[in-house]
Amino acid sequence: MVLEHLDRVFPTKAVIAQDESNFTIDTGKSRLQQLGYYQELDRSLSVISNFALCFVTISVLQGITTLYSQGLQYGGPISMIYGWLVAGFFTMFVGLSMAEICSSYPTSGGLYYWSAKLAGPSWAPFASWLTCWYSLLCKFDEKTELTSQIIVLALLINSLFSCRPAQWANTTSVDFSLAQIVQTIILLSTGGKNGGGYLASKYVLICIYGGILFVHGVKNTLPVRFLSILGNVAAAWNIVGVFLLMILIPIVAPERASIEYISTHFNTDNGVGIQSKTYIFVLGLLMSNYTLAGYDASVHLVEETKNGDINAPRGIISAIVVSFIVGWGYLLGITFAVTDIPHLLNPNNDAGGYAVAQLFYEAFKSRYGSGVGGIICIGVAAFAIFFCGMGTITNNSRMVYAFSRDGAMPCSSVWHKLNKNEVPINAVWLSVAISFVMALTSLLSLVAFQSMVSIATVGINISYAIPIFYRITLGHETFTRGPFHLGRYGMVVGWVAVIWVATMTVLFSLPVAYPITRDTFNYTPAAIGGLLVLVVSWWVLDARHWFKGPITNIDTTMRTN
């Protein structure tokens, strides 16, 4: 039914508006001008490129590979296989609601701009302020008095090191997970943990991470056409890589799990003092929810996508659907090679407890006497994660660009600057710098840093839910449909999306181990709740006097051309 609806609202060729001179103009560009913004970015991405970059940012190879250990620990096969179905089902509701709003408001500001428009004139500043913080960063106005600036800087520093704004936390979690995989590849290539292999120190690890971030920054300064090519290559790599690994690993593995084991085994031997199966299943959902996030990438690229009011919604929905299908296949395939969960999770195995790496390495070593093939397979996943990290930097820089265009960043003119390739170059390097600083917390407390996955998942989903909530409440009567819309089902889909995000926010804030100590404490509620207190308090005390929400840069009453 969804596909039939998509066919109706997405004709084979976009309906193109024409001006009096009979020249065709892009519908996305036309709508952007109606919303009050000049077309400044290079609008050259096709619907395929938009989908590809979104699909790469979701990256099932990144999410599943990174959190497979947690999936095995909290429930095992049942938690992962069925949890993926549950998460995928409800994620589609969130995606559909976002696609509908994106079609109406196709701006790079995305979530931040949507909240302002949907909350109405009275609530617009607070709505956009709140979404700003939960999606990236709050406003800092150059006209604010010195005392206020100092307070904002204090809040910013606190958010960077404890609250970790969702989008930058996502970049940090992705690229740091890639650094950990590189470290594991080096460890296995030099003999493994039990064979005298080289285990990098936390300082070497942070250097690897910094190098990865730098390369991603360089790539994001190139023209968007180049990123489009890379995105298409990366999407193909992800799909081919998934099918390669899901078929190769169970074939190579000398022992395979039965269908009965895959479909019925529930692992309660988690070593963290939790025995309730319901509780364990809920904790196991984090892997699926973390993986099936990042589809807002299509939104951030909407001003660089041809007919963005039509093709960006297509990118969102198609990326979720394809990720859901190939991700479930990947999960099923590699889980058929799992026969001894405690061994894969043992920190004293050759891969140091990195479950997927140990699984791949051991499958080849047991069959052929050498784990080289397994290391190559780990490398396939590593390249997919590399492309994913590149995509998150792209998303972050476009959000910084959009906020700066509205005067909503410190030194907005700096971050809004475009290079000769029409890329917000300073915003790119700001994203790289802040992501690197955030990872430095791992040198002080690895436990606190590891909470970043939960924080990124919860924070990003909250930023998704806020504009959807405004759409179904304050903006219900005033919302103007775009080319893609859900018709009479929009309200129902929106409520399901909001309730799902609210439920996951509560569940992912629960303790993940008992007894609760400093080393086992779940920092997610402290970070998310602390951020909420800071944002609301700052709004009440000062920001409401000077923050007015998005600022257009052209007269919306002028005729678009």
In whole angstroms, give the CA distance from residue 353 to residue 188. 12
User: Residue 513, exposed/middle/buried by CB under 10 A (0-12, 13-18, 19+)?
Assistant: middle
* Single pTM value for the model: 0.81
Judge whether 43 lies within some domain.
no
Instruction: Output the CA angle 461-462-466, nearest 5 degrees.
Output: 120
- Could you give the angle at which helices 277-291 and 490-507 cross, rounded to 10 degrees? 120
Judge whether 560 lies within some domain.
no
Tokens linked to 93: 């509701």
- Could you give the angle at which helices 425-439 and 372-405 cross, rounded to 10 degrees? 120
**Does residue 214 contact residue 205 with C-beta atoms inside 8 Å?**
no
Residue 389: left if φ>0, alpha if ψ -120 to 50, beta else—which one?
alpha
Judge whether 437 lies within some domain.
yes
Judge whether 526 lies within some domain.
yes
Judge whether 311 lies within some domain.
yes
Judge whether 32 lies within some domain.
no
In whole angstroms, give the CA distance from residue 396 to residue 171. 8
Q: Which of 213, 185, 252, 270 has its CA nearest to residue 389?
A: 213
In whole angstroms, give the CA distance from residue 501 to residue 161. 24
- Could you give the angle at which helices 308-335 and 47-58 cross, rounded to 10 degrees? 40
Q: Which of 142, 141, 213, 124 has its CA nearest to residue 177?
A: 213
**Does residue 362 contact residue 353 with C-beta atoms inside 8 Å?**
no
E-state strands within 420-465: none
Residues with Cβ < 8 Å from 321, sequence gap 6 or more? 92
- Could you give the angle at which helices 47-58 and 224-252 cross, rounded to 10 degrees? 50
In whole angstroms, give the CA distance from residue 142 to residue 239. 46
Residues with Cβ < 8 Å from 248, sequence gap 6 or more? 377
- CB 257: neighbour CB atoms within 10 A? 18
Question: HSE of 87 in the Cβ direction (CA atoms, 13 Å)?
Answer: 28
Q: What is the DSSP string of 422-490?
A: S--HHHHHHHHHHHHHHHGGGGT-HHHHHTHHHHHHHHHHHHHHHHHHHHHTTTTTTPPP-SS--GGGH
Instruction: Output the CA angle 69-163-148, nearest 5 degrees.
Output: 165
3-state helix, strand, coil in the chain (%, to 5): 70, 0, 30
pLDDT of residue 294: 82
Q: What is the DSSP string of 201-248?
A: -HHHHHHHHHHHHHHHHHHTTS-HHHHHHHHHHHHHHHHHHHHHHHHH
Question: What is the C-alpha R_g of the chain?
Answer: 23
How far out from the chain centre does Cα 114 lie? 18
Q: How many domains does the chain have?
A: 1
Q: Fill in the amino acid letter for 468.
A: I
**Does residue 338 contact residue 359 with C-beta atoms inside 8 Å?**
yes
Q: Which of 508, 499, 504 has its CA nearest to residue 468?
A: 499
- For residue 412, give its domain range: 1-11+49-545
Tokens linked to 396: 């972050």
Judge whether 352 lies within some domain.
yes
CATH of the domain at 254: 1.20.1740.10
pLDDT of residue 449: 57
* pLDDT per residue of the chain (561 residues) written in tens, 0 to 9: 443 444 444 443 344 333 333 346 788 888 888 888 788 878 888 899 889 888 888 889 988 998 899 899 999 999 999 999 999 999 999 999 999 999 999 987 677 788 888 888 878 888 777 776 666 543 333 333 333 333 333 333 333 333 334 456 677 778 888 999 999 999 999 999 988 899 999 899 999 999 999 999 999 888 878 888 888 888 899 899 999 999 999 999 999 999 999 999 999 887 778 888 998 998 889 889 888 988 888 888 888 899 999 999 999 999 999 999 999 999 999 999 999 999 999 999 999 999 999 999 999 999 999 999 999 999 999 999 998 888 888 878 887 787 777 665 667 778 888 888 888 888 889 889 888 887 887 776 655 555 666 666 777 788 888 889 989 998 888 888 999 999 989 999 999 999 999 998 888 888 887 887 776 777 777 777 777 787 788 778 876 776 777 766 665 444 444
Judge whether 142 lies within some domain.
yes
**Does residue 361 contact residue 386 with C-beta atoms inside 8 Å?**
no
